[in-house]
Copies of this chain bind each other. A is one copy, B any other.
Amino acid sequence: MMNTNRTVVSRRSRPAKEPLSHELIVQTAYRLLKDEGMSGMSMRKVAKALDTGPSSLYVYVKNLQELSAFVLDHGMGELRYPDGAGVPWQERLFDVLTAYLHLLFEHPGLAELALTTLPMGEHSLRLTETILSALAEGGIRTTAAAWGVDLILFYVSSVAFEHVSWKKQGTDQLASIKASYQSADPARYPQITALGETLFSGDTSTQDRFRWGLQVILQGILQTQNEKGAEHHERQNGS
- Using CB atoms and an 8 Å cutoff, list the residues of chain A in contact with chain B: 62, 65-66, 69, 115-116, 118, 120-121, 125-126, 128-129, 132-133, 136, 142-143, 145-147, 149-151, 154-155, 158, 161-162, 165, 169-170, 172-174, 176-177, 180-181, 184, 188-192, 195, 198-199, 201-202, 208-209, 211-213, 215-221, 223-224, 227-229, 232
Contact of A136 among B165, B191, B198, B219 (CB under 8 A): B191
Q: Which 10 A-B pairs have the closest CB atoms?
A: A220-B220, A216-B220, A132-B191, A219-B223, A219-B220, A146-B198, A129-B189, A154-B158, A215-B224, A146-B199
In the assembled complex, 21 residue pairs joining A and B whose CB atoms fall closer than 8 Å, in A order, are A116-B116, A118-B165, A118-B174, A118-B177, A120-B173, A120-B177, A125-B181, A129-B192, A132-B192, A132-B195, A136-B191, A143-B201, A146-B195, A146-B199, A147-B201, A149-B199, A154-B155, A211-B228, A217-B220, A220-B220, A220-B223
A154, closest chain B residue (CB): B158
Contact flag A65-B147 (CB < 8 Å), given A132-B192, A184-B125, A220-B220:
no
Residues of B within 8 A of A66 (CB): 173
Contact between chains at A128 and B192 (CB < 8 Å): yes
Residues of B within 8 A of A155 (CB): 151, 154
